[in-house]
Amino acid sequence: MELSTPGPTVGVVGGGQLGRMLGEAAGPLGVEVVALDPTPDPPAAPVVRDTVTASFDDADAVEALAERADVLTYEIELAEPELLAAASEESGTPVHPDPETLRTTRDKLQETAAMAEFAPVPAYRAVASAADVRAAGEELGYPLMVKARRGGYDGRGNVPVEGPGDAEAALAEATGHAPEQLPEDAAMVEALVPFERELAVMGVRGDGERAAYPVTETIHREQILRASVTPARCSEPVREEAREVALSVLEALEGRGVFGIETFHVEGVDPDRLAGAGAEGARVLVNEIAPRPHNSGHWTIEGAACSQFEQHLRAVLGWPLGGTDGRAAATANLLGDVDEPQPATMSGVDAILGEPSAHLHWYGKREARPLRKMGHVTVVGDDPGTTLERAGELRDATTFR
């Protein structure tokens, strides 16, 4: 296929910060972006061709978006796979990643089962009652992690279970349902495995191509991603295993695009608490998949030959993939440090702008909320530890109070 610029139009379901960064990456390629989002004037609005204000479950709006685009994609898992598939069939506009992939990754049990065919995972079970949780505990051992099968993000919907007496409360907290009213498909449990660190790999499926970026170490507190550093601070054999696991996971997914593959680096785990392909002796376990660009890949904007956002556009359009080589980089999230919602004004920007190796990304959100992701700062350099330390210092110098 001969490519030309100006190029095609990409319709994006979602107009948050990921949609904004897709729009920023599209401009130099001659690609236009139209984003659909329920929020009037969403973060993506200043940098995309147009925005459509509609809910994610508005079938007419999704179909209208498809009619305006050469390809549909999504930057949020609240997109409805059935509506995307129907709009694609009606308009003839392809959707990438495939709606079937979104359908799988939206359900944590289906996602884990799909991943287990290709890669190691923590041992898991479907549960429909507190008795099921206790039975899983007897079989797998405690502690367990109860997970809501749908709707969880940033750690929400995940609750640890230390013993049989915690089953009812954990189910209620994770799912929002009283145990006696729990839907059959609301929850699952996993063996809670001690890990050395959390690792993420941005994988890419192109038109007959697969690729992976260097392995990133992600640092969470209170279940929220606070910072990341690339390359991950673990041995080269572990990084290589994480990369191979990520490439294996790509085989379980359908359609083109960038995928955030979250994993655990473990050592010496009881084999009875593991499952999936290659579980015996595994040091890298798959945790969750995001079928879209991901916070753990933001470092690629300054730190890689081709950012995850340009890469996603190339992939969904069926264009040749860009390079995935990278250099040392660390990203720290700028989170709302306020006690209650207030207009978004950040102080401390001068510290970031005064650092030659730092890069500020502001997400364009009008309101700061407690722990809301408002932006990020990336520091590039030669040493992962040094870049991580400096990114943290610059983050700590900012405030929304």
Give me the residues of the chain with pLDDT under 70, please. Answer: 1-6, 152-155
Alpha carbon distance, N-terminus to C-terminus of the chain = 52
Residues spanned by the domain of 158: 120-191
CATH number where 69 lies: 3.40.50.20
| Whether residue 392 sits in one domain with residue 291 | yes
Within 8 A by CB and 6+ apart from 246, the residues are: 201, 203, 212, 261, 263
Length of the chain: 401
**Sign of the alpha-carbon dihedral angle for 25, 31, 32, 35:** negative
Q: Which of 170, 191, 212 marks a domain boundary? A: 191
Q: Which CATH number fits the domain that encloses residue 249? A: 3.30.470.20
Helix, strand, coil shares, percent, the chain, to 5: 35, 30, 40
Residues 182 and 130 in one domain: yes
Q: How far apart are CA 313 and CA 30, in angstroms?
A: 11
Query: In the prediction, which pLDDT does 230 show?
Result: 98
Same domain, 84 and 159: no
Residue 84: which residues within 8 A CB-CB, separation 6 or more?
Answer: 13, 62, 72, 74, 95, 99, 102
Give strand ranges (E) for 59-101.
71-74
Residue 181 sits in the same domain as residue 49: no
Last residue of a domain, one of 171, 191, 211: 191
Q: Does any domain span residue 105?
A: no
Task: Please tell me whether residues 248 and 382 are part of one structural domain.
Answer: yes
β-partners of residue 303 are: none
- Treating both helix axes as pointing N-terminal to C-terminal, what angle do 167-175 and 130-140 enclose, rounded to 10 degrees? 120
Amino acid at 163: G
| Residue 113 maps to a domain | no
Check whether residue 255 and residue 352 sit in a common domain: yes
Asked if residue 378 and residue 316 are part of one domain, the reply reads yes
What does DSSP assign to residue 322? -
Q: State residue 139's pLDDT score.
A: 95
Is residue 237 a contact partner of residue 202, using CB atoms and an 8 Å limit? no
Residue 186 in contact with residue 149, Cβ under 8 Å? Answer: yes
Assess if residue 251 is contained within a domain: yes
Domain ends where: 156, 191, 226? 191
* Residue 401 covered by a domain: no
pLDDT per position as a tens digit, 371-381: 999 999 999 99
- Residue 207 DSSP code: S
Position 138 scores a pLDDT of 95
Asked whether the beta carbons of 6 and 33 are under 8 A apart, the reply is no
Regarding whether 332 and 352 lie in a shared domain, the answer is yes
Q: Tell whether 232 is covered by a domain.
A: yes
Domain CATH number, residue 127: 3.30.1490.20
145 and 91 housed in the same domain = no
Q: Assess contact for 33 and 19: CB atoms under 8 A.
A: yes
**Can you give the pLDDT at residue 2?**
56
**How confident is the model at residue 22, as a pLDDT?**
98
Q: Are residues 181 and 211 in the same domain?
A: no
The Cα 202–Cα 143 span in angstroms is 29
Q: Are residues 367 and 256 in the same domain?
A: yes
Number of domains the chain is built from: 3
d(CA 167, CA 182): 13
pLDDT digits (tens, 9 = 90+) for 60-102: 999 999 999 999 999 999 999 999 999 999 999 999 999 999 9
Q: CA 1 to CA 238: how far, in whole Å?
A: 39
In a domain, residue 218? The reply is yes
Residue 16 lies in a domain: yes
Residue showing tokens 């690792």: 199
The reported pTM is: 0.95
Distance CA 263, CA 215 (A): 10
- Tell me what pLDDT residue 155 has: 62
The answer to the question of residue 323 being in a domain is yes
Instruction: Render pLDDT for 198-236 as a digit per residue (tens, 0 to 9).
Output: 999 999 999 999 999 999 999 999 889 999 999 999 999
Continuous segment of H or E residues that includes residue 105? helix 99-105
**What pLDDT, on a 0 to 100 scale, did the predictor assign at position 1?**
46
Q: Supply the DSSP string of 267-317, one letter for each residue.
A: SS--GGGEEETT-TT-SEEEEEEESS--GGGTTHHHHBSS-HHHHHHHHHH
Same domain as 279, residue 147: no
